Amino acid sequence: MGILEETKGLIEVSVDELGLPKAVYQHLKEPQRLLIANIPITMDNGEVQSFTAFRSQHCNVLGPFKGGIRYHPEVCMDEVKALSMWMSLKCAVVQVPYGGGKGGIICDAKNMSEDEIERLSRGFVRSMLKIIGPEQDIPAPDVYTNPQVMAWMADEYSMAKGHNAWGIVTGKPLIVGGSLGRLEATSRGCFFVINEACSKLGLSLKGLRVAVQGFGNVGSYAAQLLENAGAKIVGVSDSSGGIANEAGLSVDKLMDCKAKTGSVSEYANGDKISNEQLLTMDCDVLTPAALENQITGDNASDIKAKIVAEAANGPTNAEADKILTDKGVLVCPDILANAGGVVVSYFEWVQDIESFYWSEEQVNTRLKIKMTDAFTRVYDFSQRKQVPMRKAAYMLAVQRMGEAMQMRGWVKKAK
């Protein structure tokens, strides 16, 4: 079963078990609007090439659509739809007033020039002009899009409207309405979730043994925050392989090594391991921070971590989820564990609307409150209803959207 069908299945079960009207599921099983655009761009060689772009606007019952745009040769409609559903769920879990959105352009960004990427990004905004806006749908960076791309998009939108509208996208550079703390927000949010999960299991961050899969934006900063809090990073990996050391790896040195050699697996002070070995190594906390579908029925029973904190989107498939739950592993699901990014995106949008910018400390303090509150709600619900954390997070999110639908009259109230 693909990620879209798995996500729909979990939403349907949540609607049923919560006793919500079936019509709630009818609203949530498909995006409210799906736009496909054809964007013709003049390439550097003078030829015109057409790119297919998608924007999925899943559900705006709680607020404007919000979610990233990815530039990737394999982006497809089902992926964008599923990712927009996760965004709706994520925003509802952490109680930020947004609905889910996601976009993508089928392109090989790695082999395009900066000028071509700029023209494509501006073309995307022009083709979506009628359906995006600070009060309608607010894109953000995702795979192979970055603050520079967001700056071009904000500029194109502002030019079209005749005034600066920084609130149109988040994840912007600071100079054009970005927020302090946005770069590390997803990792910091995940760090707060791990902290709370540890306290529930009576584990201290001091000496906690952590393995991190994926040493990119999210994985590297998460490792750094954990190390600063006294944890031992006993293993890390990236797409070229991994490295382990029971005595602990230095995150600063790993960052240097990755910058110089391209991979953490070249780090001298440790034993080379494969990605498969990293996932099943002896540790207290495993943080998958790379790709979807890494923990599966094939390896879940070998996982030794007591806590799995899903920094990546969709790293655990349904079969593995059941195995981990039966083993008593505390799984902090993606829609909770990696929601720090959208929380600080929300803070960025609020700052843009008010034209009043916060200190990094204010951003981080408010992020901590949001993430710890969300963890507590999900954990308490899972204990009260005796359901795994993922199911608890889905049920709380669906409950919130379902209640708003009933209040707004989108569905008849349950008797």
Binding site for ligand NAD (CB under 6 A): 186, 213-219, 237-239, 275, 289-291, 311-313, 338, 341
Q: Which is nearer to ligand NAD, 185 or 396 (CB)?
A: 185
Task: Write the DSSP assignment of 120-134 as a string of letters.
Answer: HHHHHHHHHTTT-BT
**What angle (nearest 5°) sits at the alpha carbon of residue 239, between those of residues 258 and 170?**
75
Taking the complex as a whole, how short is the minimal distance between the CB of residue 186 and ligand NAD, in angstroms? 4
Taking the complex as a whole, how short is the minimal distance between the CB of residue 293 and ligand NAD, in angstroms? 10
Q: Which is nearer to ligand NAD, 123 or 181 (CB)?
A: 181
Q: Which is nearer to ligand NAD, 171 or 402 (CB)?
A: 171
Between CA 229 and CA 204 the distance in angstroms is 10
Between CA 268 and CA 7 the distance in angstroms is 41
Angle 77-93/3-18 helices, nearest 10 degrees? Answer: 40
With b meaning 16 or more CB within 10 Å and e meaning fewer, what string describes 5-17? eebbebbbebbee
Q: Are 393 and 336 in contact (CB under 8 A)?
A: yes
Q: CA torsion 336→342→343→347, rounded to 10°? A: 180
Taking the complex as a whole, how short is the minimal distance between the CB of residue 338 and ligand NAD, in angstroms? 4
Cβ contacts of residue 175 below 8 Å, gap of 6+?
none
Q: What's the Cα-to-Cα distance from 384 to each of 18, 89, 196, 381, 389, rounded to whole Å?
A: 14, 20, 17, 5, 11
Cβ contacts of residue 357 below 8 Å, gap of 6+?
179, 180, 351
Taking the complex as a whole, how short is the minimal distance between the CB of residue 238 and ligand NAD, in angstroms? 3
Taking the complex as a whole, how short is the minimal distance between the CB of residue 197 and ligand NAD, in angstroms? 18
Residue number with the smallest Cβ distance to ligand NAD: 216
Q: Which is nearer to ligand NAD, 237 or 317 (CB)?
A: 237
Between CA 388 and CA 399 the distance in angstroms is 16
Task: Count CA atoms within 13 Å of residue 338 on its CB side.
Answer: 23
Q: Which is nearer to ligand NAD, 49 or 146 (CB)?
A: 146
Taking the complex as a whole, how short is the minimal distance between the CB of residue 247 and ligand NAD, in angstroms? 22
Q: Which is nearer to ligand NAD, 127 or 338 (CB)?
A: 338
Catalytic positions are 102
